[in-house]
Amino acid sequence: MSEPIRVLVVEDDPVAADAHVMYVDRVPGFTAVGKVHTGAEARRALERTKVDLLLLDLHLPDVHGLQLARSLRAAGHHADVIAVTSARDLSVVREGVSLGVVQYVLKPFTFATLRDRLVRYAEFRGAAGEASGQDEVDRALAALRAPGPVALPKGLSAPTLERVTEALRDAEEGLTAAGVAETVGISRITARRYLEHLVEAGRAGRSPLYGQVGRPELVYRWVRGVERGR
């Protein structure tokens, strides 16, 4: 049995880091060997731990993710990189290709999205031996490319998800499902589905609202840091 692919999660947001570790450990053939929150911590971790793949947030408090990747290459570290970011600048994508960035995952994302990227990376990594021709080389490289956008859960739409996300970002004290429903103009049940999707993606948290009669209602809060343009 082959050894699992060892992944170091580099993410400054503690809630998102915990979610990413959980996601990695749910994918067969992968194991999270640690989580760190800064570039300096990542460098120290790589000195003491064998790492095959970095799940790397590009917006770290002490260094940009691509700058970290460049310095790691110069220091002789050869771990591949899956970049995790909210930034959509294609020039950043192009720059990352030369630094060992094999995939980009845009926040917020679901477990299914990351699982797809990890499985494709494992297929690419597992290709061995000498290619018989151009077709085989093309197939190996194609393993890294997703066939198309990963679908949202059934019944959810991207435009409504964006509106729910914006409403939650703008609410410093958080919102209940009823509050989101009123703000966005959807039903309370629908609002809860979108909010739970954001919680599963690690971009929102939830806690009970006490001090009212009956069953406490849940308050959802955006995980701060996303609005900085990762």
Predicted confidence (pLDDT) per residue in 172-206, tens digit: 889 999 999 999 999 999 999 999 988 887 778 88
Structure tokens at 73: 């290459």
Q: What is the DSSP letter of 228?
A: G
Query: pTM of this prediction?
Result: 0.61
The CA distance from 183 to 177, in Å, is 10
**Residue 26: per-residue pLDDT:** 92
Mean of the per-residue pLDDT values for the chain? 82
- The neighbouring-strand residues paired with 219 are 207
Q: How many helices (H) and strands (E) does the chain have?
A: 9, 7
Strands (E), the chain: 5-10, 30-36, 53-57, 80-85, 101-106, 204-209, 217-222
* Nearest one of 73, 71, 7 to 39, comparing CA atoms: 71
DSSP H or E stretch at residue 183: helix 177-184
**Residue 93: per-residue pLDDT:** 67
* Nearest one of 220, 203, 214 to 84, comparing CA atoms: 203
Which parts of the chain register pLDDT below 70? 1, 87-94, 97-98, 100, 127-151, 211-215, 224-230
**Residue 131: per-residue pLDDT:** 52
